[in-house]
């Protein structure tokens, strides 16, 4: 069964608010809120990670230049 806890509602200006106990903290700094019948549901908006962003990009079809072209040949250096 899910963990439950009684919390107090209070007014913050013209808005009703609730303090979220530490064990129920959500990640990030934004959330979605909606009603399901009598329930009020709050869900975090998770920012996609780098892999999710890269998965949305189209592949590059061009050849990459030869970065070693024009460099001096390697040589041994005595220190």
Whole-model pTM? Answer: 0.53
CA 44 to chain centre: 10
Euclidean distance between CA atoms 61 and 67, whole angstroms: 18
Give the list of residues 6+ apart from residue 24 with CB closer than 8 angstroms, or none: 3, 5
Segment (H or E) for 52: helix 50-55
For position 66, what pLDDT does the model report? 85
Average pLDDT over residues 26-35: 92
Per-residue pLDDT tens for 42-79?
999 988 889 988 899 998 888 888 888 888 888 877 77
DSSP code, position 78 = -
Question: Which phi and psi angles does 52 have, rounded to 5°?
Answer: -65, -40
């Amino acid at each position: 069964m899910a963990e439950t806890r009684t919390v107090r509602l209070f007014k913050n200006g013209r808005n009703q608010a609730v303090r979220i106990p530490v064990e129920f903290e959500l990640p990030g700094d934004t959330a979605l809120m909606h009603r399901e019948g009598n329930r009020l549901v709050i869900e975090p908006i998770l920012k996609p990670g780098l892999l999710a962003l890269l998965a949305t990009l189209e592949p590059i079809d061009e050849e990459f230049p030869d970065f070693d072209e024009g460099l001096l040949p390697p040589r041994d250096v005595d220190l």
